[in-house]
Structure 1
């Protein structure tokens, strides 16, 4: 029996393709799917077969254009400044606007399940107010504090011993405290929609019936314990609709795929240094700049092909190494193909993703300010030490097992079925 799903997302770069992959899969199974999204995403939404619906009062953005980016976190001088932009411009500040638009769409046309980017707490509020099941989508590693893992953000190694546990408790308090400034705006949205205020923003992230983690469980800490409503459903490995056809550099030398963020993170200079590094090695370099950087602004040596985009899933079947900012999408696609990595985190969740790659033995991390010579040495190390490829292939086997069935679709269909029967799912909060 078909159901109706309302998705809610925003122009969040790497978070968009996995979200729309789930929407596409539901549509292909005959369900009705609408997607509340920024107008800049409507062509991508339509390509999945889902119906795009525009936000009307919530913020509109385009992360491929720095002028239109909602967050502009590339302007922040510190990680705390970048976090404040996320809190105030997306998660909490416009919560009332996101709630208003979501409820308007639900009142106009009902849905059996609301599926939302977990960071849009305004849409979570709307789903709770409407009394329908809400599934939050996490398109990277689970980002909240849990037993068995260090606090998310600093990219720390897991704690050992009593001092390590004290470290985690202290840092968890310090990393969650800044959310308090977003609580008044969030609670105003809740009260305006007939809901009780919450004691913390952290509580709001748990007001979902399911939190679906679109990330390999094998990439996270084995000792980590998660809330009962969290489900690891495996990564989405689809390429975005805009990537085009694959063109490979000429020759038969090992292929190094280099790719940084699909959004603007002031990365042109780093792309240039990566191109220079690959130019000193006996490799073929395929460097994709993404839609935020003009490939013509990145001069490259003769063994490096610079292009705006390429289907990474196809390119990775030829690749021997990936050089990346450690965006979750690029990392999991590389690991799914058994390709080891050189990670150069630029910000956001990338330090955490790089840390997991390091600990898995599937790659190494160098600083974003590294010289071409340092980058080249890191690439050589990964290419010449077989342990990195061996561990990447181990993770590829685990990812293949996780993605053999579409667990995300199964979880969402189960929510819709229970809602149709009038069954409760879990108690929120």
Structure 2
């Protein structure tokens, strides 16, 4: 049995891939725990995974509107790493797995001589491009080198389809998206609207344009609001089904089209169900535009500006609800995702690394320690 610690943060879509891998590791008999922000405790309790909150690091709540500097503070917070170093010192782990945006944590672990694995939850090519843009510049102003830290780990795990990951580094380990699914079989034309759980400033305005677009649409329409949206501020058509939260794996088998902001987690589970998408990136400073553009090039999606008028959004939905090449493209990608078995593949790689650590530790112990 190996002991594996995940370092995470309250970012919404970053959680499902790590949690999916953790569940496989648990089923294989490993001791798995998460260290994250305080408000994540209920989520991990529902998942049945061991969790502790960072004792000294800056707290963070994804549901509240956050200025860029607030998110940057999380990414560059060395206290996350110091808390992890303290935890590792008091309770040794065979492997530490770090969210790809926690540059401050990586730096603290590296300085303490604690090896880690970088866990990416988006395209590696996007991260490498972003490291040379505004995000990378802001991180470097905090004295951190994002690409050097990502690549300083023992391995870089990228749970996505390599065919979609343009510009990725040769050394990253593409394990496949950590999602499950089978081709959807909706009883009637159905649209699932699932925008970001993050409190982006443009979220409410984008939702209203979308709701205006689906008014009287000849289809069943399901919306999941998430924790950041106040539905009282919206004009919601009577026929739209409103849910604070739905498990995507449970609702997508009934769906024909997914309207999304372009989060990697939502996009991959939609493809796992062979579903085409309409992508409306809500925040241009994130990976959402890149994911939207990538899916559009693949033929599985239409990507529009979040400022698009309701009439244009409606026309795109009508196109996607009909049969066409977008369904064939989504089905091809869905078959690739299901074949990769991402959760099991990533878990097997982590198991191998953890075993190497345990064997190395045993080899360096004094003989009398090994026989106790």
Indicate whether the TM-score tops 0.5.
Answer: yes
1:226 is matched with which residue: 169, 176, 179? 169
Say whether 1:402 aligns with 2:350: no
| Shift, 1:320, TM fit | 1.1
2:290 is matched with which residue: 345, 352, 359? 352
1:205 is matched with which residue: 114, 135, 150? 150
Distance in 2 between residues matched to 1:404 and 1:202, nearest whole Å: 24
Tell me the secondary structure at the aligned position of residue 14 of structure 2: helix
Say whether 1:391 aligns with 2:326: no
Distance in 2 between residues matched to 1:103 and 1:11, nearest whole Å: 20
Bigger Cα displacement from structure 2, 365-374 vs 294-303: 294-303
| Shift, 1:123, TM fit | 2.5
Partner of 2:159: 214
- Spell out, residue by residue over 1:74-123, the C-alpha distance to the aligned partner (whole angstroms, 9 max, x if none): xxxxxxxx3x5544x0222x22x122211110111110000110211232
- Spell out, residue by residue over 1:240-259, the C-alpha distance to the aligned partner (whole angstroms, 9 max, x if none): xxxxxxxxxxx964001111
Partner of 1:380: 318
Partner of 2:96: 114
1:132·1:419 contact (CA, 8 Å) conserved in 2? Answer: no
Partner of 1:194: none
Say whether 1:104 aligns with 2:86: yes
Alignment of structure 1 residues 158-237 onto 2, 5 Å: 172=132, 176-183=136-143, 186=144, 200-221=145-166, 224=167, 226-228=169-171, 230-237=172-179
Partner of 1:304: 240
1:90 is matched with which residue: 48, 52, 74? 74
Distance in 2 between residues matched to 1:413 and 1:182, nearest whole Å: 34
Say whether 1:418 aligns with 2:343: no
2:82·2:108 contact (CA, 8 Å) conserved in 1? Answer: yes
TM-score by length of 2: 0.88
Inter-CA distance 214–145: structure 2 relative to 1 (3 Å threshold): closer
| Shift, 1:305, TM fit | 1.1
Provide the aligned length of Structure 1 versus Structure 2.
Answer: 354
Inter-CA distance 129–182: structure 2 relative to 1 (3 Å threshold): closer
Inter-CA distance 152–201: structure 2 relative to 1 (3 Å threshold): closer
Inter-CA distance 366–392: structure 2 relative to 1 (3 Å threshold): same
Unaligned segments of structure 2, at least 5 residues: 362-372
Deviating 4+ runs (over 4 angstroms): 143-146, 172-178
| Shift, 1:324, TM fit | 1.0
Unaligned segments of structure 1, at least 5 residues: 67-71, 74-81, 154-171, 187-199, 240-250, 424-429
Task: State the structure with bigger RCO (CA 8 A, min sep 6), 1 or 2.
Answer: 2
Tell me the secondary structure at the aligned position of residue 222 of structure 2: strand
Partner of 1:76: none
Say whether 1:335 aligns with 2:317: no
1:323·1:341 contact (CA, 8 Å) conserved in 2? Answer: yes
